[in-house]
Structure 1
Amino acid sequence: MNQPLAYVHPGAKIAKNVVIEPFTTIHNNVVIGEGSWIGSNVTIMEGARIGKNCSIFPGAVISAVPQDKKFNDEETTTEIGDNTTIRECVTINRGTTDRMKTVIGKNCWIMAYCHIAHDCIVGDNCIFSNNSTLAGHINVGDYVVLAGMAAVQQFCSIGNHAFVTGGSMVRKDVPPFVKAGREPLSYVGINSIGLRRRGFSTEKIREIQDIYRILYQKNYNNSQAVAIIEAEMQATAERDEILEFIKNSQRGIMKGYFSSN
């Protein structure tokens, strides 16, 4: 669209029905898909790949160079999936040579003042509440919810359907299907409300609870718990997903919560 009060670089590829509000700047080497809305005072920098029907609110800065001293102006990207909403003043940095891209999946909702650093890979249907922050090189699964002001340390992973409570400091990997809270971050149950909303049956939720009881509430170490889960729990997609996450964890998974009483 012709926007006399916005600057769109001639090298940007903008679908015909994209709405660009006044005072927005779109740099070279940017692609924006059909039906997207770009609010006023947004800056979209080189390497941005924005999908269809996205909404980006005022003050957001998409695909700025990484806050990484090793970055040497490599040609990297920021990729944002279809139907994702990015609220006011969100900052998303493009990748480095580690992964060459930063990725936000489809149908995500990234609320105001969130920061997503270089080389993060975020799945589909995620919700990041205000001021949530991802350092670099983080993996986030599908349907993950970060409550307000959660901060995730570099190289951590968060599994599918996990919920991290507000103000949490995530220093270890968070397995799938769980709620994480307290300080230091600990297992506080499974994300049963979120799982029910997404169609998980009562039987499936109970199965996931039984797995995490073995892992977190029976005083086994992780290796012992994994061996027992493999031996005693029926093989299902959810069981195998949990076990695979634990076995592949690079930082180690968060601990269980033990009462002092």
Structure 2
Amino acid sequence: MSIHPTALVDKGASIGRDAVIGPYVVIDSDVTVGDGAVIGPHAVIHRYTTLGANCRVHAHAVLGGIPQDTAFKEFPSYVRIGAGTLIREHVTIHRGTKPETATEVGEGCFLMVNSHLGHNVKLGNQVIIVNAALLAGYVEVGDRAFVSGNVVLHQFVRVGRLAMLSGLSGISKDVPPFCTTAGLMPNSVGGLNVVGMRRAGIAAPERLQIKRAFDLVYRSGLNVSQAVERIRAEGLGGAAAEFGAFAESSKRGICRFIKTRDTAARAGDEESAS
């Protein structure tokens, strides 16, 4: 363990083995910093924050700040960050807004410069949040999703796993798993994240089932309930069933499908998803 002499570390904080605390870092009481974590200069880690092993926090990041909620009262709530997560400069992560609730970041995530996680956000594992993306309270993002720069996610929005959100998107509806959003068109998906699925090791037969589920939900003329019934009737399982279940469980409604020049260019790739 190495703590720079200018750092202010409360005696009530727990600092793991081989952790490195840089110049002018401030760490409150009731903070846990995992083994091998590295905290860069001027970072601030507030009370009730847990940082997993081998995380790296860059300069001026602020973790565990109180939520931007006028109804918030000063009681214990938490930020929990999984092992191996990389947090770049000026990232802000706020803790839960209700007693004993938490904002949670999975393992191996990458939060880029100036990104923000509001209270009670939940990120899965290996999620990438690009520069200046803003996630409002209670947003949920599935494993290996990619949120591009300057994306704004409305409170309570859900993003499914392996979804890819285009830069500058404004999203107030749920984004189903495996989808890409349609450029600057708000609340719109343009197709499937075929490249991402391949990289994730989803085999061709399963990708074709996902495409069938996508077509039933978005291109068949059926409403969501009818489309999900067809998904089940056709015996589509695994990730395709996950796609249907996500759409069926949406409380905000899912993003619409819109065909753009970019999505038209991708159509051939989707048609040959194998």
| TM-score normalised by the chain length of structure 1 | 0.96
State how far apart, in whole Å, the 1-side matches of 2:42 and 2:59 are.
5
* Structure 2 residue aligned with 1:187: 189
User: How far is the alpha carbon of 1:66 from its aligned partner?
Assistant: 0.4
Structure 1 residue 83 corresponds to structure 2 residue 84: yes
The within-5 A match list for 1:41-52 is 41-52=42-53
* Structure 2 residue aligned with 1:178: 179
Asked if structure 2 preserves the Cα contact closer than 8 Å seen for 1:99 and 1:119, the reply is no
User: How far is the alpha carbon of 1:46 from its aligned partner?
Assistant: 0.5
Amino acid at match of 1:222: V
State how far apart, in whole Å, the 2-side matches of 1:16 and 1:5 are.
20
State how far apart, in whole Å, the 2-side matches of 1:98 and 1:211 are.
39
* Structure 2 residue aligned with 1:199: 201
Asked if structure 1 preserves the Cα contact closer than 8 Å seen for 2:4 and 2:21, the reply is yes
User: How far is the alpha carbon of 1:217 from its aligned partner?
Assistant: 1.4
Unaligned runs of 5+ in 2: 261-274
Equivalent residue pairs, number: 259
**Matched residue SS, 2:207:** helix
The within-5 A match list for 1:122-141 is 122-141=123-142
Amino acid at match of 2:207: I
State how far apart, in whole Å, the 2-side matches of 1:34 and 1:99 are.
25
Asked if structure 2 preserves the Cα contact closer than 8 Å seen for 1:98 and 1:119, the reply is no
Structure 1 residue 95 corresponds to structure 2 residue 96: yes
Asked if structure 1 preserves the Cα contact closer than 8 Å seen for 2:152 and 2:170, the reply is yes
> Against the structure 1 CA distance between its residues 235 and 211, is the aligned structure 2 distance closer, same or farther, given a 3 Å change threshold?
closer
* Structure 2 residue aligned with 1:253: 254
**Matched residue SS, 1:188:** strand
**Matched residue SS, 1:92:** strand
Amino acid at match of 2:193: N
User: How far is the alpha carbon of 1:98 from its aligned partner?
Assistant: 7.0
User: How far is the alpha carbon of 1:215 from its aligned partner?
Assistant: 1.0
The within-5 A match list for 1:196-235 is 196-232=198-234, 234-235=235-236
> Against the structure 1 CA distance between its residues 216 and 99, is the aligned structure 2 distance closer, same or farther, given a 3 Å change threshold?
farther
CA offsets, 1:49-108, max 9 Å, x none? 000000000010000000001110110110000000000000000002177100000000
Amino acid at match of 1:214: L
Unaligned runs of 5+ in 1: none
User: How far is the alpha carbon of 1:161 from its aligned partner?
Assistant: 0.9
Amino acid at match of 1:113: N
Asked if structure 1 preserves the Cα contact closer than 8 Å seen for 2:162 and 2:178, the reply is yes
Amino acid at match of 1:253: I
* Structure 2 residue aligned with 1:105: 106
State how far apart, in whole Å, the 1-side matches of 2:100 and 2:259 are.
37
User: How far is the alpha carbon of 1:176 from its aligned partner?
Assistant: 0.7
* Structure 1 residue aligned with 2:167: 166
User: How far is the alpha carbon of 1:222 from its aligned partner?
Assistant: 1.4
State how far apart, in whole Å, the 1-side matches of 2:23 and 2:138 are.
34
Asked if structure 1 preserves the Cα contact closer than 8 Å seen for 2:75 and 2:99, the reply is no
Asked if structure 2 preserves the Cα contact closer than 8 Å seen for 1:214 and 1:225, the reply is yes
| TM-score normalised by the chain length of structure 2 | 0.91
CA offsets, 1:188-209, max 9 Å, x none? 1111111111111122212111
**Matched residue SS, 2:217:** helix
RMSD: 1.5
State how far apart, in whole Å, the 1-side matches of 2:197 and 2:154 are.
26
